[in-house]
Chain A
Amino acid sequence: MNTFCRTSLTFAFALLLLTVAPLTVSAQKAEVGEQAPNFTLPDTEGEKHSLAQYEGKYVVLEWLNFGCPFVGKHYGSGNMQKLQETYTDKGVVWLSIVSSAEGKQGYYPPKEMKAQKKKHNGNMTAILMDPAGEVGRTYGAKVTPHMYVISPEGELLYKGGIDDKPTTDEADIKGAKNYVRNALNQAMNGKEVDPNTAQPYGCTVKYASSM
């Protein structure tokens, strides 16, 4: 029998795994039912917002890119703005995060972003700038819009799509089940959030360094 071969295999096996194993350690990620990762980002005025400062309030994170047709569906129809208004009126903090890298679609310098917010009649609490994509990657935001709902205790209650009609057609908003509204209403009424995840749909987030 070929002992040398087997020996080297066994040895390689031990060596390989000792080497490879640490590469599989998972990063801190936003998982439903767990504490949402904290972050600090500047808004269009340069003012810093961190998740921790909103302890005690419901927080909605919305990944935003005004150039994306899926986002256009929800802003063009006024659906998103209405949702923002309804819930910020109830004390919910609504943070729209732009993870587009400089030079890519959806990125605007703060001043222009302010103009964009006005142009789209945005009712979000703030638009946060994440051009390095750090927060987007931590949260695993894949598309715009990608929605997250966080409890006053900082627990991630919902992540996923805004509703169950993954299209760019404004006509589909009527009759769609809005998962963000659903999650907020259930949580505010002391119920379990169900569903607490749904397939997100939209355009890919235009991160820096798309490898």
Chain B
Amino acid sequence: MVPRRLSMSMLFAALMLLGAAGVPVDADAQSSDDPSPHSEAALVSDVSAIAPGEPFTVALRLRMEKGWHSYWKNPGDSGEPTSVDWAVPEGFAVGDIQWPYPHRVPFGPMTSYGYSDEVVLPFTVTPPETLAPGSRVTLKGEANWLICADICLPAKADVQTTLSVAEAPRPSPEASVIAKAESKQPRSVDGWTVQAARSSGSYTLALTSPAGHEPSLKGAYFFPAQEEVLDHAAPQPVSRADDTHLITLQQSSYAEEPSDSLRGVVVAPDGETWDAAGEVRALRVNVPVDSTLSGIDVASMTAASTGGNGLSLPWALAFAFAGGLLLNLMPCVFPVISVKILGFAEQAEEEERTIRTHGTLFGVGVLVSMWVLAGILLAVRAAGSQVGWGFQLQSPTFIALMALLFFGIGLNLLGLFEVGTRLMSWGGRLQTQTSSDGRLGAFLTGVLATVVATPCTAPFMGAALGVALTLSTTGALLIFTSLGVGMAAPYVGLSMAPRLLKALPKPGAWMESLKQFFAFPMFATAIWLVWVFGQQTGNGGVALLLFGLLLLGMAGWVVHRWSASTLSQPLTVVTRGLVTLMVVGAVAAGVIGAGYDRPATASSSDSSSAASSEQWTPFSPQTVQEFRAEGRPVFVDFTAAWCLTCQVNERTVLNTDAVQSAFRKRNVALVKADWTNRDPQITKALESHGRSGVPVYVLYPGDGSGPTLLPEVLTQDIVLNALEKLPSSS
């Protein structure tokens, strides 16, 4: 042990030297002659004299070299928790390790939970009552732990401490070490409510703060004490609804079955604490997993309960909710609000409880119809899944149809044509008929509200539809639910407080203006889609798609110019037939345009000029292999036209002069893997890097060693630093 008892600074210096020289630490040599490599263990006690029958604390203090770590009670994806086998005198009782909260140790696609630098693991020891003051006792134990950096080594040490027995306990000089460790112990904090729920593949932890102390928990992290419950490497997005924070947790793919409880520790982000006094950073959690979270808003709840999409889905749901709310301001819906609510009021004869019931039933009606719509959508999608749905954006046909859809929606919002005026009046009639039917009536009114709103819903539904098609089943269902909740919210809200009705603005021309204004974002989306389409198909395709849009515009004009009420029967048939033909023609033009293959060289018009600074070679595994064989570093840019992050990275980082000249200076071969269209070779290459989508940036050093993956969001510094680290031999 003696030679290793270097001062920390010497140790540090030695390690710096090792690191600088790039000398790999030889595991075998170290483990053979040193039972506790890269770390050392000692026993500390908070008292130097113990009293009979009075519990005290001893702790295993592990000091680890920089870069090495040991493990928590749940080691995460790899590792083994530290343990101590005690040999204590007769009559002594030693409790379990009181684990301080750990930190995350990420390694490649894996995440472990452990400790670095130093950890103090306390045990409570209870001596027997019969102890004689004046004697001495020795506590011994064999500590076993795993010490890991890139590699792992088992370590063990015999530890002991000798304490005197006195009438009253006397604190030891090491008491402060243990007191400091105490502050890292997870605790329960009064006032916090913790609940847990589960939905397919994920758990949600809901933490409701007490009044008066509402820390920001963005970046909080839940360390599960159970091993087979959660995916340790999955991100844990935190969202917030009022005073409730929701942490989304991914279920482990190794879980035999879902857990019925969640145990562990939630660690607050840096600078935040769970208690007002600022002392507790780690909150102890042990809650049953329940499907219902009482007192928590359902919409925001569902927003957080699907994992997989990381942060995007909660946002999407928030926008869908806003979209639903917005629907109520549309001319087709708004005027009926007051009628409906007044209807409730009438039939209930001012009895507020009945109004509330009816309001709720109305909301349920809206939701159910939304779900029916979602069901239809999912059925359609299921039919498409056999042909490999999920790559829709790589399908120019899909892009073309989306462009037509968004353009059509824009025209509709501008008022070029009306959809479903008849539907609206039909719905209105039914509404008046059913309003006297009590509860069923209230529910049906909800269904009808959705039907009546359909003409205006269509634009929003269009956006939701496009989005939902690209999402998982759960995601799609949630989008529609959120839209429905948003739409029903004002009705339900008003039924709860009918007096608020008077405060509503009167319907009027402003609504029409608002509706028309919404046409422009739709057109903008269409422009973006046409641009993507152009990347996929080239000029000819774009011309055909634009022709399709023209036909669609004409169809709208015909409908508007010769509206059904002003025409004779035969003329109606003729014009409507014409309209149908034009719409079919528009779709056909888009689909045919999608069939235009992009010319092989169209991807980079600048590839002809060999002197161009942006010299990207198209990807193939052989190309990369050849460059590597030449001993050149290779940078592969996995990108796609429909990937905004990729475009941003290329414009703001990769194609800048600074980065380009750094590439040139180091003779880096630039390879572009364009995934805009389906390409099995690129898909396979992505998978080999453990990725399933773009952007991915891969940098191979010139010396033949393994590649480095850069983050998905690049900065110039990231790229320049990565280049800096390349071996300079080439």
Give chain A's interface residues, CB within 8 Å of chain B: 3, 6-28, 31, 67-70, 101-105, 131-134, 137-138, 140, 142-143, 159-160, 166-169, 195, 197-211
In Å, the complex CA distance between A169 and B146 comes to 11
- Residue numbers in A under 8 Å from B692 (CB-CB): 23-27
Are A23 and B693 in contact, with the CB atoms below 8 A? yes
In Å, the complex CA distance between A42 and B257 comes to 37
Question: Of B148-156, B434-442, B541-549, B659-667, which stretch is located at the interface?
Answer: B148-156
* Cβ contacts B310-332/A at 8 Å (1 or 0 each): 00100110011011001000000
Are A199 and B393 in contact, with the CB atoms below 8 A? no
Are A209 and B709 in contact, with the CB atoms below 8 A? yes
Cβ distance A39 to chain B, nearest Cβ, rounded Å: 11
Residue of A nearest to B472 (CB): A24
- Residue numbers in B under 8 Å from A25 (CB-CB): 390-391, 692-693
A-B contact pairs, 20 of them (CB 8 A): A7-B517, A7-B521, A8-B521, A10-B460, A10-B463, A13-B320, A16-B315, A22-B392, A69-B146, A131-B706, A137-B109, A137-B688, A142-B77, A198-B254, A202-B78, A204-B77, A204-B107, A205-B108, A207-B109, A210-B150
In Å, the complex CA distance between A198 and B256 comes to 7
Q: A7 with B108: in contact, given A15-B525, A17-B467, A198-B228 (CB under 8 Å)?
A: no
Are B463 and A199 in contact, with the CB atoms below 8 A? no
Cβ distance A50 to chain B, nearest Cβ, rounded Å: 15
Give chain B's interface residues, CB within 8 Å of chain A: 24, 27-28, 75, 77-80, 107-110, 112, 144, 146, 148, 150-154, 227-228, 252-256, 308-309, 312, 315-316, 319-320, 322-323, 326, 390-394, 402, 460, 463, 466-467, 470-472, 514, 517-518, 521, 524-525, 528, 640, 642-645, 686-694, 698, 704-711
Are A22 and B693 in contact, with the CB atoms below 8 A? yes
Cβ distance B341 to chain A, nearest Cβ, rounded Å: 20
Are A19 and B110 in contact, with the CB atoms below 8 A? no
Residue of B nearest to A200 (CB): B254
Contact of B316 among A13, A70, A197, A209 (CB under 8 A): A13
Residue of A nearest to B709 (CB): A211
Are A6 and B326 in contact, with the CB atoms below 8 A? yes
Are B320 and A22 in contact, with the CB atoms below 8 A? no
Residue of A nearest to B144 (CB): A169
Are A197 and B256 in contact, with the CB atoms below 8 A? yes
Are B467 and A204 in contact, with the CB atoms below 8 A? no
Contact of B705 among A7, A15, A19, A102 (CB under 8 A): A102
Are B27 and A67 in contact, with the CB atoms below 8 A? yes
- Residue numbers in A under 8 Å from B390 (CB-CB): 22, 25
Cβ distance B184 to chain A, nearest Cβ, rounded Å: 24
Q: A10 with B323: in contact, given A199-B228, A204-B110 (CB under 8 Å)?
A: yes
Q: A17 with B78: in contact, given A7-B521, A23-B643, A137-B688 (CB under 8 Å)?
A: no
Q: A18 with B642: in contact, given A13-B463, A69-B152, A203-B148 (CB under 8 Å)?
A: yes
- Residue numbers in B under 8 Å from A31 (CB-CB): 253
Q: Which of B112, B309, B642, B689 has the most CB of A within 10 A?
A: B689
- Residue numbers in B under 8 Å from A197 (CB-CB): 253-256
- Residue numbers in A under 8 Å from B323 (CB-CB): 10, 13
User: How many Cβ-Cβ contacts under 8 Å join chain A to chain B?
Assistant: 207
- Residue numbers in B under 8 Å from A201 (CB-CB): 75, 78, 80
Q: Which of B78, B255, B692, B704 has the most CB of A within 10 A?
A: B78
Are A3 and B153 in contact, with the CB atoms below 8 A? no
- Residue numbers in A under 8 Å from B525 (CB-CB): 11, 14-15
Residue of B nearest to A23 (CB): B693
In Å, the complex CA distance between A107 and B690 comes to 20
In Å, the complex CA distance between A7 and B448 comes to 26
Q: A166 with B80: in contact, given A15-B528, A22-B391, A211-B709 (CB under 8 Å)?
A: yes
- Residue numbers in B under 8 Å from A195 (CB-CB): 256
Cβ distance B328 to chain A, nearest Cβ, rounded Å: 12
In Å, the complex CA distance between A23 and B309 comes to 9
Contact of A16 among B227, B255, B316 (CB under 8 A): B316
Given A25-B390, A67-B151; 13 other pairs, CB 8 A cutoff: A10-B323, A10-B521, A15-B528, A17-B470, A27-B690, A27-B691, A105-B150, A132-B688, A166-B75, A197-B253, A201-B80, A209-B698, A211-B710
Contact of B309 among A14, A19, A24, A69 (CB under 8 A): A24
Are B78 and A211 in contact, with the CB atoms below 8 A? no
Q: Which of A25, A67, A104, A202 has the most CB of B within 10 A?
A: A25
The 6 closest A-B pairs by CB, nearest first: A208-B706, A13-B319, A21-B470, A11-B521, A23-B693, A27-B692
- Residue numbers in A under 8 Å from B79 (CB-CB): 203
- Residue numbers in B under 8 Å from A20 (CB-CB): 309, 312
Are B471 and A21 in contact, with the CB atoms below 8 A? yes
Are B150 and A206 in contact, with the CB atoms below 8 A? yes
Residue of A nearest to B521 (CB): A11
Residue of B nearest to A71 (CB): B152
- Residue numbers in A under 8 Å from B312 (CB-CB): 16-17, 20, 24
Residue of A nearest to B309 (CB): A24
Are A28 and B78 in contact, with the CB atoms below 8 A? no
In Å, the complex CA distance between A20 and B27 comes to 43
Q: A105 with B151: in contact, given A13-B319, A15-B525, A137-B689 (CB under 8 Å)?
A: yes
Are B319 and A69 in contact, with the CB atoms below 8 A? no
Are B227 and A18 in contact, with the CB atoms below 8 A? no
Residue of A nearest to B326 (CB): A6
Q: A10 with B322: in contact, given A27-B687, A143-B78, A168-B154 (CB under 8 Å)?
A: yes
Cβ distance A18 to chain B, nearest Cβ, rounded Å: 7
- Residue numbers in B under 8 Å from A207 (CB-CB): 108-109, 706
Are A203 and B643 in contact, with the CB atoms below 8 A? no
- Residue numbers in B under 8 Å from A211 (CB-CB): 108, 708-711
- Residue numbers in A under 8 Å from B528 (CB-CB): 15
Residue of B nearest to A211 (CB): B709
- Residue numbers in B under 8 Å from A198 (CB-CB): 228, 254, 256
Are A9 and B514 in contact, with the CB atoms below 8 A? no
Residue of B nearest to A198 (CB): B254
Are B521 and A209 in contact, with the CB atoms below 8 A? no
Are B148 and A28 in contact, with the CB atoms below 8 A? no
In Å, the complex CA distance between A206 and B312 comes to 31
- Residue numbers in B under 8 Å from A131 (CB-CB): 706
- Residue numbers in B under 8 Å from A134 (CB-CB): 687-688
In Å, the complex CA distance between A21 and B28 comes to 47
Cβ distance B633 to chain A, nearest Cβ, rounded Å: 14
- Residue numbers in A under 8 Å from B704 (CB-CB): 102
Are A160 and B152 in contact, with the CB atoms below 8 A? no
Are A168 and B691 in contact, with the CB atoms below 8 A? no
Contact of B394 among A22, A104, A143, A203 (CB under 8 A): A22
